[in-house]
Structure formats: C-alpha cells, structure tokens
Structure 1
Amino acid sequence: MTVLVVIPARYASTRYPGKPLVALKGADGEARTLIRRSWEAATQVKGVDRVVVATDDDRIKAEAEGFGAEVVMTSEACRNGTERCAEAHAALGGRYDIVVNLQGDAPLTPHWFVEALVAGLQADPGADIATPVLRCDGRALNGFLEDRRAGRVGGTTAVFGAGRRALYFSKEVIPYTGRRYGADEATPVFHHIGVYAYRPAALAAYPGWETGALETLEGLEQLRFLECGRTVLCVEVEARGRQFWELNNPEDVPRIEAMLAEMGMS
C-alpha cells in the first residue's frame, strides 16, 4: 500500500497565532521552528512514500521550502487539519492507499507511533480511520488534571470498547478516576495522540459532512467521524521512554523544550 504523510499547518490558530513558526530549542541549544521539527519527525517514519506540508499561508510555505519540504497550498476554507489533508490529497491526484495526518503541533511524535497506526489500519479492513492512544502514567494524568484546574486545554483523552473501536474523545479527562496516581503508576486513562491514518474514501467524504454538536462543543475534528457513524480504530502505542506533548498554548513551549533537553534530542 502507498502511504502519504500530510502535515497540515495554518498560521491563524485561535489559541496560538503563528504557532507553526514558533522556535523550539533542542538539547543542543539550536532553535528550529515547530513546522520544521514536525517535518523532521515525519521523515523518520518507515514505509512512507511521500511527505508534504499542507498550508494556506505564504510564510509557512517559505519556511517549509527553506528547509527542503514539499508544500501543497490549500484553501483558507479548510476548517481543520482533516479537511486540509483531504484537499491536499485531492490536489495530489487522490491516488494514495493510506493518508496520514501528522499534525504540525506534535514534533515529539515518535516514528513508531505512525508505523503502528498504518499497520493497524492495514490489518483491520472494517476501520475507516485509525488513531494512536497512549496509556497515561500518573505523571501524565496529573499533568492533565493540573491543566484543567488552571483552565488550560491540555491533552485529549480517548475511551474505546470492543475491538478498540473508539467510543468518545474529549478535552476533559475521561474516564473519571477519583484518585491520584504515583508518577510511574499505570492509569486507566488514555492520551489520544493527534495523528490519523485515513482510508481515502472516508477522507474524501469528510469535508462534505455537516459539523455535529459534539465536534462543535469539544473542538475535536475526529468526532465528526463518530457522529457520522464511521469506525475509528484506537491503536495502543508504547512510549518506550519517550515523553510526548503537543504544542497547544504558549505555556507549552518551555515544557516541550524541557522534554527535548531531558531526552537529549537536538
């Protein structure tokens, strides 16, 4: 199967305008933009035929082409990364068997997350899309809870049922646990990693579906698939000692830089 990785990136983020061009310092002290770090993460994934940055902004285009990325320009009408991936895939001829959405705010995404995701979709013909989930340890869960108490949007959590079919995704911490956990203790909460692998038919149909009440309330694009009755496969992945965090707010910059330094990542 042919695999395309699309990195959707827009400048006009509601919570953090200009986010793709924010510089992040690595362990070596070198600062590289968020979009560059995301592209570098995508190029580490095995079994991928093509990686492109999809954007509607000339500043992001110039930055991406400056470090050697292929860019597909998309319209300003795209309401989220999935719609931008659908438009980019169509612009490239719509000929790939699997399209991966590696969002441009997740530079710490390990390559094995994406590889497991593609393998999971290949092995499950009943799934329309697949997305990775990571079991939280106490440190991660307590960080989520601290963010919510402070009024910040932290990570997204996921719950799933038989066959690891997704039941719901939320920016709240679900399921409710009612207790605190030790830093290294396993918890029943799963962190949803914002990466998706789509079958082309489901991806092409997505922009034509109406935005549902749950997607509107949570601001989570993957809920449109669930609201339209499509099957979302949750693929459990392992951190292998790698810390993971998405850049959602300005406050996340020092957190991610600290993770890069702690893991010795340049």
Structure 2
Amino acid sequence: MSVLIAIPARYASTRYPGKPLVSLKGPDGAKTLIQRSWEAAMAVRGVARVVVATDDDRIRTAAEGFGAEVVMTSAACQNGTERCAEVAALLPGHDIVVNLQGDAPLTPAWFVEDLIAGLRADPGAEVATPVLRCDGRALNGFLADRRAGRVGGTTAVFGAGGRALYFSKEVIPYTGKTYADADPTPVFHHVGVYAYRPAALAAYPAWATGPLETLEGLEQLRFLENGRPVLCVTVQARGRQFWELNNPEDVPRIEAMMAEMAAGG
C-alpha cells in the first residue's frame, strides 16, 4: 500500500498568525515550525511521498528553501482535512493519506507508523488518529492551560475496539484527582495526526460543518457527526515528550522539551 503524508500549513491562523514560520531553537539551531514538522514526517518509514500543503507563498518559499515538495491548495479550505482532500485529488494513487499537522514538530516517527498499521489492520475504520495516555505531568499541563484560559491540547474518549466517542479541547473525562508527574492517568491526549482512506477523505469536504465541530473547532468531529467511525490508535511515548504548538506560550515549552530530549532526559 502506498502512503502519502501531507503537512497542512496556513499563515492566517486566528489564534497564532504566521505560526508555521515561527522559529524554534533546538540543539541543532533555529528552524521554523514547518521545517521541524517536515523533518518529523521525513523520519517516518514506509512512506512514498511527503508534501507541504499550503495556500500561502511565504510558506511555499520557506518550505522549498529547505527542500520540501509543496502542493498549493485553495485558500477556501476550512481546515487541514479539507486541505489534505485537495492534495489527495491532485496526487491520486495512494491507499492511505496521512495528515501530519504542521504544528506538531515533536511527533515521533513511530506514532505515525503505528497509526498506519492500525488503520491497515482494521478494515472497518475509515479514519484513524493516535492517542497517548497522559501522565500526571501532561495532564497538569492541560489543566493549567484551561485555568489560564488557553486552548491547550485536545483530549479523546473512546469505547470498544478503539472507536472514538468524542474529542474535546476540554479535559475529558473528569477525574477529580491529583496525579504526580509520573503517574498514569485515565486521560488520553489526542495527537494531531490522521490517516484516511481515500473515499472518506474525498467525502469530507461535501459535508456541512456540524454544531460540535463549530463549537470545539475540531475538524475530526465532522466524521463523527456524519456517522463515520474514527479509530483511536493508542501509541506509546517511549520516554519522549509530546506537545503541539497551539499558542505563543508553547514556544518555550517545546524548546525546553527539545533540549531535554537532546540531553537524554
């Protein structure tokens, strides 16, 4: 089976304009967010093609500057899934299309590899996405963001067979407990990556945006609102930290995580 990874990136983010071009300083120097996300995608094994999908010439110029293949998509795309649907139509012939969003530079390659394997193993699933069990440190970070009025990571709840029940920017399920940093918790962090079968991806742009997607601002809820199953694939951190860049306050957090990982922490 042939796998295509598309990295959607838009300049005009409501919460963080210009986010793909923000600089992240790591042990290997300063690189833009989009370059670090592209490097994460290039590390995934068994992938036929990796492209950056954007509607912005500034992002195209930056991406081509570090060697990425760029596909220009419509400015009318409402989210990354719609942008990936355009890419899949322009570059047909792939059995699985992966959306590795351009704000997740810490995504380990095995998250994506396990995601692809999970979708392949479940013929009833049309879409799959990784979830990572939060330890106390990650959960406390989520809760601190919510107390500060920031939109942090997304959480997921799922039932039998890993079928998604709901995704939210609130911290769900409610636990009412305090956890030490290393404690496992019942809260799962939704990792911002998706793997689609082409038919489901092609159908997505024609569906109206539903009330839950509108309220939460989460594109994957459109699949659930249209009765399409979403498979949650549990992935393992293997000692790595994971966080998406959602707000300007996340830049020093991610830089600190990169430094800690480089130091072997």
User: TM-score if structure 1 supplies the norm length?
Assistant: 0.98
Question: Does the residue aligned with 1:226 lie in a helix, a strand or coil?
Answer: helix
**Aligned partners of 1:190 and 1:58: how far apart in 2?**
36
8 Å contact from structure 1 (residues 27, 262) kept in 2: no
**Aligned partners of 1:142 and 1:66: how far apart in 2?**
38
8 Å contact from structure 1 (residues 42, 102) kept in 2: yes
1:71 aligns with 2:70: yes
- Structure 1 position 175, deviation (Å): 0.2
Equivalent AA in structure 1 for residue 21 of structure 2: L
**Cα deviation digits, residues 63-98 of structure 1 (max 9, x gap):** 000010000000100000000000011111x21100
Aligned match of 1:118: 116
Question: Does the residue aligned with 1:179 lie in a helix, a strand or coil?
Answer: coil
Structure 1: tracts of 5 or more residues without a match: none
- Structure 1 position 153, deviation (Å): 0.5
1:247 aligns with 2:256: no
1:138 to 136, 139, 151: 136
**Aligned partners of 1:155 and 1:35: how far apart in 2?**
19
1:216 aligns with 2:214: yes
Aligned match of 1:155: 153
**Aligned partners of 2:132 and 2:54: how far apart in 1?**
28
Aligned match of 2:13: 13
Q: How does 1:1-266 map to 2 (within 5 A)?
A: 1-28=1-28, 30-92=29-91, 94-264=92-262
- The percentage of aligned residue pairs carrying the same residue is 81
Structure 2: tracts of 5 or more residues without a match: none
Moved over 6 A (4+): none
**Aligned partners of 1:214 and 1:43: how far apart in 2?**
33
Question: Does the residue aligned with 2:52 lie in a helix, a strand or coil?
Answer: strand
8 Å contact from structure 1 (residues 134, 190) kept in 2: yes
Question: Does the residue aligned with 1:262 lie in a helix, a strand or coil?
Answer: helix
Question: Does the residue aligned with 1:178 lie in a helix, a strand or coil?
Answer: coil
**Aligned partners of 1:147 and 1:180: how far apart in 2?**
16
**Cα deviation digits, residues 115-152 of structure 1 (max 9, x gap):** 00000000000001000000000010011001000000
**Cα deviation digits, residues 179-222 of structure 1 (max 9, x gap):** 11011000000000010000000000000000000000000000
**Aligned partners of 1:230 and 1:13: how far apart in 2?**
27
**How many pairs were matched up?**
263
**Aligned partners of 1:258 and 1:130: how far apart in 2?**
30
**Cα deviation digits, residues 94-115 of structure 1 (max 9, x gap):** 2110000000000000000000
- Structure 1 position 47, deviation (Å): 0.5
Equivalent AA in structure 1 for residue 20 of structure 2: P
- Structure 1 position 27, deviation (Å): 2.1
**Aligned partners of 1:52 and 1:153: how far apart in 2?**
28
Of stretches 256-265 and 160-169 in structure 1, the one that deviates more from structure 2 is 256-265
Question: Does the residue aligned with 1:154 lie in a helix, a strand or coil?
Answer: coil
- Structure 1 position 26, deviation (Å): 0.4
Question: Does the residue aligned with 2:38 lie in a helix, a strand or coil?
Answer: helix
- Structure 1 position 260, deviation (Å): 0.5
What is the alpha-carbon root mean square deviation over aligned residues?
A: 0.7
